[in-house]
Structure formats: structure tokens, C-alpha cells
Amino acid sequence: MVRRLPEWACAIRDREKPPTWIRITIAVGVVWFLLGNWMFEAAFHQHNPRHPDPATGHVYSLNNHGAVVYVTRHDAVRIWGGLIGGWLTGAGAMALALSKRQEVLRFPPPD
């Protein structure tokens, strides 16, 4: 016996997907954010000082649940650029994809 899906399940399965370029942009944003997150975590495992060191340029603080390390300006821009840039790219592409949807899928009311 073949069981047939309800109409709302077929509508979800057969809905139109966003264009490929939007899906690629979302994926790039997610990877960019994860790369920024990895750089943030790696800053705590490297030999960054726990106190500001103006002689070497380690004056920008990163705080991870109370553990503070100081990084250079270049590292700070790279880390925060990855986190914020990746988040904005992914979220912007998702918002664009959702704004271009033609129909709103609604679940049926419970019986």
C-alpha cells in the first residue's frame, strides 16, 4: 500500500528553491562566519599576552567568558571582520531569499 502525503507536505516538498547565487552567498556567509569564529578561538590558544603590551602592538582585547587576551590591530580586524562580515553576508542573503518568495506556506489547523 502506497501512502500519499498530505497536501501541505507536498507543497513544502515541491516549493521553488531560491536561486543558486543566493544559496551560494548564504554558504559563503556561513563559512566566513565559522572562519572568524575559528580565528577567535585560535587567538586564545596562540601565544598572545594576557596583559596589554604596547611595545608589540598587542593592545586590542578579546574576551571569551572572562579569559582575556590582547591581539594586534591586524588580528582584531581580521577576527571581528570575519565574525561580523560573515554574519551580515549570510543573514542578508537569507533575508533576500525570503523576501523573494511568492507564496507563504501555511500548515493546516489541528483537528
pLDDT tens string 9-66? 777 777 777 788 888 999 999 999 999 989 888 888 888 899 999 999 999 999 888 8
Residue 25 counted as domain residue = yes
Residue 58 counted as domain residue = yes
Residue 1 counted as domain residue = no
Residue 106 counted as domain residue = no
Overall domain count for the chain: 1
Residue 23 counted as domain residue = yes
Domain of 48? 19-99
Residue 2 counted as domain residue = no
* pTM (predicted TM-score): 0.68
Burial class (CB in 10 A: 0-12, 13-18, 19+), 1: exposed
Cell for 90?
549570510
Q: What residues have CB less than 8 Å from 91, skipping those under 6 apart?
A: 29
Residue 62 counted as domain residue = yes
